[in-house]
Copies of this chain bind each other. A is one copy, B any other.
Amino acid sequence: MKLLEEKILKDGKILNNDILKVDSFLNHQIDPVLIDSLAEDMLNFFKNQRIDKVLTIETSGIAVAYAVARIIKAPLVFAKKSKSATVGDDVFTAEIKSFTRNLVSKVTVSNKYLKEGENVLIVDDFLAEGNAGLGLLSICNQAKANVIGFATAIEKGFQGGRKKLEDNGVKVYSGAIIKAFENNKPVFEEQ
């Protein structure tokens, strides 16, 4: 998505060679014109599929997932990062390692909000190693819901997340795919 690539080139900051900081339009301040347009592009990619529910994970995925959910008038569910070790048996859970923060969070979704046979589109802000996507896929599998795809704003193509998801049968959409950082600038993969 051209608009997103331009925005990354203009406003993204590269930290420590492998972390892309996009605080100015995606992760702290959010540009709703860009995100609405990204949401249209995501849905266009999955346009032949019925979507019953949009699933994301707090915090940075919520705005993008909301932008998608409102267009198709489908409920949005966000997985919660639980601080407590004790979770009841009325939730689906997964452990997700964050690439940027290097910590493992237990995330939960109430079994009231994901049901057997529902078609789910997973949405997140980043795809790096694929851990969030795999965790949310596991939660959908526990619910016996069907994952029709994973849609992300920015993919870091050199971190292997796409292959892990595709190996699990999940179709992947990325607004922009960064294949490398060169001379402190992102280089995009043509789509």
Contact = CB atoms under 8 A, between A and B. Distances in A.
A70 B67 contact: yes
A54 to B, nearest CB: 9
A24 interface: yes
A23 B110 contact: yes
A23 B79 CA distance: 12
Contacts of A69: 30, 32
Interface in A76-115: 76-78, 80, 109-110, 112-113
A58 interface: yes
A110 B109 CA distance: 31
The A interface, classified by DSSP as helix, strand, loop or mixed, is: mixed
A3 B84 CA distance: 34
A63 interface: yes
A76 B28 CA distance: 8
Contact of A78 (B28, B32, B35, B109): B28
A141 interface: no
Nearest to A53: B29
B112 A76 contact: no
Which one of A24, A30, A31, A78 has the greatest number of beta carbons of chain B within 10 Å? Answer: A30
A33 interface: yes
Given A32-B76, A76-B30, A76-B32, A24 B113 contact: yes
Interface string A61-79: 0110011011001111110
